[in-house]
Amino acid sequence: MNSCHSPVFDLVAFDWDGTLFDSTALIIRCIQSAVVDVGGSRPTDQAASYVIGMGLSQALAHAAPDVPPAQHAALGLRYRHHYAQHQHDISLFSGVLPMLHALRTKPCRLAVATGKSRRGLDEALRSVELHGLFDGSRTADETAGKPHPMMMEELMEEFGVPPHRTLVIGDTTHDLQMALNAGCASVAVAYGAHATTELEALKPLAVLHSVSDLHRWLWERL
């Protein structure tokens, strides 16, 4: 953890929503509205926040167990409708851009591994002017969703980095379980969707409570 023998990482993969992008509250509201729109029972905040990080179809099906599979396509459309109305109301967490620019001076590769769609991630990257800060990315619709390790396996293969030199950073247990499944280390941030106790149960190297703490932790180890 904070010892002088801390590992050095050649690839750092960030989750997007709730880790870099301050979107947790919006996603919860959009899930709840979409479920009600198609006739399901409104999920609690806890139930809606739990599925953040999964691929969209998997997340919505889990959050709305009383919505029949025949309605899942409509459920996805309603979620996208609600999210599109407000996606530009939210932004990166304070301190994320300076952190990413500082990390670009390090020799490691930076990537995004997200439950968003490719279209959704590309729109987000354009809206916050992040082009050039990431070396690669994987989204849930072009590979397996979290906690399946495929996202990380593909990124590690792309950059020729072994699991023991790869770090996953996320705000949900799905992110941390994906890291475990891929044989990678992880760091949790506790300012996103899942509670500190849930994150600690998956034994990340650290649970950090602010972007400034994350910046400092990474700077000392990369």
Whole-number average pLDDT of the chain? 91
CA 123 to the chain's CA centroid: 16
Q: Which of 3, 54, 7, 12 is nearest to 161 (CA)?
A: 12
Mean pLDDT (whole number) for 29-57: 91
pLDDT of residue 4: 43
Which comes out higher in pLDDT, residue 161 or 52?
161
pLDDT of residue 12: 98
Cα separations (Å) of 20 from 92, 137, 215?
A: 6, 14, 12
pLDDT of residue 24: 84
Mean pLDDT (whole number) for 187-202: 92
Which of the residue ranges 4-18, 66-80, 173-187 would you say has the lowest mean pLDDT?
A: 4-18
Q: Is the pLDDT of residue 5 over 60?
A: no
Residue 134 sits at φ, ψ, to 5 deg, of -115, 140
What is the tens place of the pLDDT at every residue in 112-139?
999 988 988 888 888 767 878 999 999 9
Q: Is the pLDDT of residue 3 over 50?
A: no
Q: Is the pLDDT of residue 102 over 60?
A: yes
- CATH number of domain containing 53: 1.10.150
Distance CA 78, CA 74 (A): 6
Distance CA 159, CA 154 (A): 9
Neighbours of 2 (CB within 10 A): 9
107 and 170 co-located in one domain: yes
Q: Is the pLDDT of residue 6 over 60?
A: no
Residues 6+ away with beta carbon under 8 Å from 23 = 17, 87, 90
Distance CA 48, CA 30 (A): 9
Q: End of a domain among 56, 89, 122? A: 89
Distance CA 202, CA 181 (A): 11
140 and 162 co-located in one domain: yes
What is the tens place of the pLDDT at every residue in 49-101?
888 878 888 889 999 999 999 999 999 999 999 988 887 777 899 999 999 99
Q: Is the pLDDT of residue 216 over 70?
A: yes
95 and 59 co-located in one domain: no
CA-CA-CA-CA torsion sign (213, 216, 221, 222): positive
Q: Is the pLDDT of residue 2 over 60?
A: no
Q: End of a domain among 73, 89, 105? A: 89
Given a contact cutoff of 8 angstroms between Cβ atoms, the answer to whether 118 and 139 are in contact is: yes
Is 73 inside any structural domain? yes
